Amino acid sequence: MKKQTRLIHAARDAKSATGPVNPPVVRASTVLYPSVAEMRAVRKRRDAGERIFSYGARGTPTTFALEDALCDLEGGERAFLYPTGLAAIAAVLLSFSRPGDHVAIVDTVYPPVRKICDEYLAVRGVAYSYYAPDVDGLKRVLRPNTTLVYAESPGSNTFEVLDMPAVAGLTRQVNAVLAVDNTWAAGYLHQPLRLGADISIQALTKYVAGCSDVMLGAAVATAPAWQTLHRTSSTLGICVSPDDAYVVLRGLRSLAARLRQHESAAARIVDWLERRDEVAQILYPARKDHPGHNVWKRDFSGSNGLLTVGFREASAPRIDRLVDSLALFGIGASWGGYESLALPFDPAPVRSATTWGGPNPLLRLHVGLEDPDDLIADLDAALRSLQA
C-alpha cells in the first residue's frame, strides 16, 4: 500500500469487531490479572522485551497504537514515545554513549541539542564533535570510539540536506549507531531507516500533531538499537499520557493532506519572494538552486511549509520590525501547526564546525493552511511598511 493509505489504516482493525474508528483512550497505572500465574507469565514476557500491556508506565493500548502506526510509516521494528521531541533526542544521546565514547553531531542540529551535549555528555566523560553537514565533514570527525552518529536532514532552519545512504555507510564502517532527527519530514516525506539509519527521531509536536496543542516525541528503531531504547525507557520510567498519544494519532491520519497543502502554499510564497528586490536568498530544499536539492529530490517524496529568507538589507531591528508588522504570521517557537509563523533567526551562534556567511539574521517562515493569497498580501504589506 502507498504511504498515504497506510497513514489511514495503520494500527486500526476496522473489520474484526464492532467499535469506534479510533483506538480508544485507555488510562491505566495498575493493570489487573485474573491470577498470580497469569501476572507472572505476562511479566516474564515483558522482561524478555515483548511489548505487552502490563503496567501504565510500560505503555497502554493507546500508546501502542501510535507506536505501531509510526513503525509502519518509518519501517521500524519498535517505537518509543517521550514527553517531547527534545526528550526523545536526549534519550537517544544518553542511551548510546558511555564514558570514553565519542559522539558525532551534525553542525546544523536543532540548537537545544547542543545544551544536552554540553551539560550531560561532557560530565559523563563522553567526547563529542560537530561535523559540517556533508559526507566529508562527517569523515573528518569519525573516530574508532565513535558509538553514535547523530544527523538531522534537512538541518534546522537552514535546511542542509545530508546524503543519508552515504552517512549510513560511513557510520557502519566505525560500527556506530546512526540516529536521524526526521522531524522536518514528519516521518512521512523521508524514511531514514530505509536508507540505512538505525533510529529515526521525531518531534510529533510538529506536523504529526498539527494543531500546536500537544507535546510528544518518538524514536522509531530497528533491531538491535531498539533493545537499548527499551532498556532506557523501562529503567528510567519514561512514558507518555494516553490522551496525548490519542491526539497525536488522530493528527497522523490527516498528515498527508495537510503536508501537501503546506507544500503547495510554501511553493507559491517562494515564487513570489523570488521576485522581490528585498530578498537576497531563499532556503527551501525543493528549489532547484538549494544546496543538496538533488539529494533531496532523490530521498524525499515532498516538501513542507518551512522556508527561510535572507534579505539584502539584513539587520536585526529591520527583521524584527518586519515580523512585528505581519498580521497573519504569528510570533512563536515551534512549527507544523495549521497556522503560519514568522521568526527572526541568527544561525551564527549555533554553528561551530562551519561559519555562517550568508545574510544575517534570517527570517524563518512556517507557511500554514491559510489561503496563500492572504499570506502573500500580508508579506507584501509588511515589506512595504519597512520601506515607508
Ligand X SMILES: *Cc1c(COP(=O)(O)O)cnc(C)c1O
Provide the minimum distance between the beta carbon of 70 and ligand X in the complex, in angstroms, as a whole number: 14
Query: Contact 348/295 with Cβ under 8 angstroms?
Result: no
Rule CB under 6 A: say whether 205 interacts with ligand X. yes
Residues forming beta bridges with residue 220, ordered by sequence position: 79, 200
Integer CA distances (angstroms), 276 to 122, 360, 375, 376, in order: 46, 18, 15, 12
Nearest CA-CA partner of 156 in 362, 381, 375, 376: 362
Distance CA 242, CA 65 (A): 10
Provide the minimum distance between the beta carbon of 230 and ligand X in the complex, in angstroms, as a whole number: 21
Provide the minimum distance between the beta carbon of 217 and ligand X in the complex, in angstroms, as a whole number: 5
Among 80, 110, 150, 329, binds ligand X (CB under 6 A): 110
Rule CB under 6 A: say whether 212 interacts with ligand X. no
Among 134, 181, 244, 299, binds ligand X (CB under 6 A): 181
Phi-psi region of 73 (alpha: psi -120 to 50; beta: other; left: phi over 0): alpha
Query: Contact 111/156 with Cβ under 8 angstroms?
Result: yes
Which part of the chain contacts ligand X (CB under 6 A), choosing from 57-65, 83-91, 299-307, 312-320? 83-91
The dihedral sign for the CA sequence 111, 113, 118, 122: negative
Rule CB under 6 A: say whether 106 interacts with ligand X. no
For ligand X, the closer of residues 84 and 261 by Cβ is: 84
Rule CB under 6 A: say whether 285 interacts with ligand X. no
Residues 6+ apart with CB under 8 A from 268: 372, 376
For ligand X, the closer of residues 156 and 303 by Cβ is: 156
For ligand X, the closer of residues 107 and 152 by Cβ is: 152
Rule CB under 6 A: say whether 334 interacts with ligand X. yes
The dihedral sign for the CA sequence 229, 197, 60, 84: positive
Among 85, 192, 210, 372, binds ligand X (CB under 6 A): 85
Neighbours of 194 (CB within 10 A): 15
Nearest CA-CA partner of 91 in 113, 110, 72, 118: 113
Strand positions, DSSP E, 182-336: 199-203, 217-221, 279-283, 306-311
Rule CB under 6 A: say whether 86 interacts with ligand X. yes
For ligand X, the closer of residues 329 and 335 by Cβ is: 335
Which part of the chain contacts ligand X (CB under 6 A), choosing from 188-196, 201-209, 266-274, 341-349? 201-209
Nearest CA-CA partner of 325 in 371, 379, 365, 273: 379
Distance CA 326, CA 378 (A): 6
Alpha helices in 75-122 (DSSP H): 85-95, 112-116
Rule CB under 6 A: say whether 207 interacts with ligand X. no
Site string for ligand X, 215-244 (x = CB under 6 A): x-x---------------------------
For ligand X, the closer of residues 248 and 256 by Cβ is: 248
Size of the site for ligand X (CB under 6 A): 14
Residue nearest ligand X by beta-carbon distance:
85
Among 22, 84, 212, 281, binds ligand X (CB under 6 A): 84
Provide the minimum distance between the beta carbon of 204 and ligand X in the complex, in angstroms, as a whole number: 7
Rule CB under 6 A: say whether 264 interacts with ligand X. no
Among 156, 158, 191, 340, binds ligand X (CB under 6 A): 156
CA angle 328–213–362, rounded 5-degree value = 45
Provide the minimum distance between the beta carbon of 35 and ligand X in the complex, in angstroms, as a whole number: 41
Annotate 82-113 with b (16+ C-beta within 10 A) or e (fewer). Answer: bbbbbbbbbbbbbbbbeeebbbbbbbbbbeeb
Provide the minimum distance between the beta carbon of 353 and ligand X in the complex, in angstroms, as a whole number: 18
Q: How many CA atoms lie within 13 A of 334 on its CB side?
A: 22
For ligand X, the closer of residues 344 and 382 by Cβ is: 344
Which part of the chain contacts ligand X (CB under 6 A), choosing from 79-87, 100-108, 223-231, 277-285? 79-87
For ligand X, the closer of residues 68 and 152 by Cβ is: 152
Provide the minimum distance between the beta carbon of 360 and ligand X in the complex, in angstroms, as a whole number: 20
List residues near ligand X by CB under 6 A: 84-86, 110, 152, 156, 181, 183, 203, 205-206, 215, 217, 334
